[in-house]
A and B are shown apart, each in its own frame.
Chain A
Amino acid sequence: KAGVTQTPRYLIKTRGQQVTLSCSPISGHRSVSWYQQTPGQGLQFLFEYFSETQRNKGNFPGRFSGRQFSNSRSEMNVSTLELGDSALYLCASSLGQGGSSNQPQHFGDGTRLSIL
């Protein structure tokens, strides 16, 4: 069974640009969550999608948005990029709705975003 796939693996952008990251969950998983990981800050929750609906949202500005498609694949968009957005963005999928279920999360390898 293929794992969670994130594309691209690496991305370099400049301030003010926008970026779209993609996540394909494990087959059969309907929940997709996104996290930002920076040194010393751990895993900061961005948002969670289940059945094409955003179910939970973390404390990030509106520049961060996402969506989920009918095949459970998800995209995350960041507009007007800032230097502080440089981070590893991780996507995780699970069987149930993560926020209220006891299902373990399966993470992808992440997208390393660098802002110049």
Chain B
Amino acid sequence: GQQVMQIPQYQHVQEGEDFTTYCNSSTTLSNIQWYKQRPGGHPVFLIQLVKSGEVKKQKRLTFQFGEAKKNSSLHITATQTTDVGTYFCGRSTLTFGKGTMLLVSP
């Protein structure tokens, strides 16, 4: 079946450093969704990308969808302690990556 792989599984950064997580699919994706789950919380929808090569920004977060629609990335500029959590990518309902856990030290 369709699989979505996320790397890295875990990253620990100092506050102010940048962070990037990557999402790769074995097949072409119709869309890609990104979610954030804070420790002890539930996943919260961040954004959806649909078009090939699409780039969307939310303040310090930049989301990209690859030209072939098989990969995506989330880049956080100048991380803050509020960015702590696990970031998941997925295709609608069925397929989520295992997530990237981000820890930010002050």
Mark A residues whose CB is within 8 Å of B: 31, 33, 35, 40-45, 48, 56, 58-59, 90, 92, 94, 98-110
Contacts across chains A and B counted by CB atoms under 8 Å: 65
Interface string of B79-106 (1 = CB under 8 A from A): 0000000001010111111110000000
**Pair A43/B93 contact, Cβ less than 8 Å:** no
- A90 to B86 alpha-carbon distance, docked (Å): 15
Top 6 nearest A-B pairs by Cβ distance? A98-B93, A42-B98, A104-B45, A107-B42, A43-B96, A99-B93
A98-B96 in contact given A104-B33, A104-B45 (Cβ < 8 Å) = no
A107, closest chain B residue (CB): B42
Docked-complex contact B92 and A99, CB < 8 angstroms: yes
Q: Is the CB of A102 within 8 A of B92?
A: yes
24 example contacts (A-B, Cβ-Cβ < 8 A) are as follows A35-B96, A40-B9, A40-B98, A42-B97, A43-B43, A43-B99, A44-B96, A45-B94, A48-B94, A56-B93, A58-B94, A92-B93, A98-B94, A102-B48, A102-B50, A102-B92, A104-B45, A104-B48, A105-B43, A105-B92, A106-B45, A107-B44, A109-B41, A110-B42
Q: Does B31 contact A (CB under 8 A)?
A: yes
Q: Is the CB of A90 within 8 A of B43?
A: yes
Whether B43 lies near A100 (C-beta < 8 A) is: no
